[in-house]
Amino acid sequence: MSDAVQPTAAEVRAAAEALKEALDRHLAAIERRAVAPEAEIEAADAAVFAAFNEMAAAGEVYDELLYDVYDEVTPFEVPASEGATYEGPEDPEVLSVFLRRDYIVAEPQRVLGQAERVAELEPEEADPAEPEAEVAAGRSVRAAIGVLFGEFDPDEIASRHEEFGLAEGDATLWVTAQPEPAEPGEWLAAPFDAVDPERVICRFDISDAFDDDDPDAVDEVPRWLGS
């Protein structure tokens, strides 16, 4: 952002105050709905939804100004409200969480080196029945990635991706309500085929695409979302 349009500290303060007011309105709408008679529940739901969107929009403005002026970010994620209308139960008893994170293999040699270190620490993991190229973690990026993701859980990979030679791409997490528990092994062959947009309770998206000011900038933190 150029000096001519650089926001001021006063604008950050004003955005913070606007966010506080939006938070108060959101809570007030929820409190009113909690005591609303049955005939007014639909209108109360609409008021909460509108207050949520106002809070999300105010949070996004504050987050962007805070970053532009102070190079700081907020720790909040707000579920996106765009897309299909929720048609699931109000009191879900079964949840499914769908998570996708994309990575770019930015430094193949680092990927190979990290996998080699893991293999050296745990040599008993190698299967002598497999071809040498399959078990030699340092010879194939494909094999190395298998070693790393087999050793570290996805959250640790996400928090240490640069250490493993990876660069973050887009990420999304959907929390959905399910009608009943799945049978053991039922969905393992196609785990993401059962996503029903009308049963999405909330979702969290992270993407470079949310940076409107600079299309080449990397959006390294979760953004406030909402229409």
Show the tokens assigned to 222: 């979760």
Which residues neighbour 79 within 8 Å (Cβ) at sequence distance 6 or greater? 202, 203, 204, 225, 226
More confident residue, 67 or 128: 67
pLDDT of 203 strictly over 70: yes
Helices 41-70 and 9-34 meet at what angle, rounded to 10? 160
104 - beta bridge partners? 167
Specify which residues 206 forms β-bridges with. Answer: 171
In tens, the pLDDT along 121-148 reads 765 544 544 444 344 565 789 989 999 9
Check residue 137 and give its pLDDT.
60
Q: Which pTM does this prediction carry?
A: 0.52
Domain boundaries of the chain, sorted by first residue: 1-76, 85-106+165-227, 107-159
- The secondary element (H helix, E strand) that includes residue 142 is helix 141-151
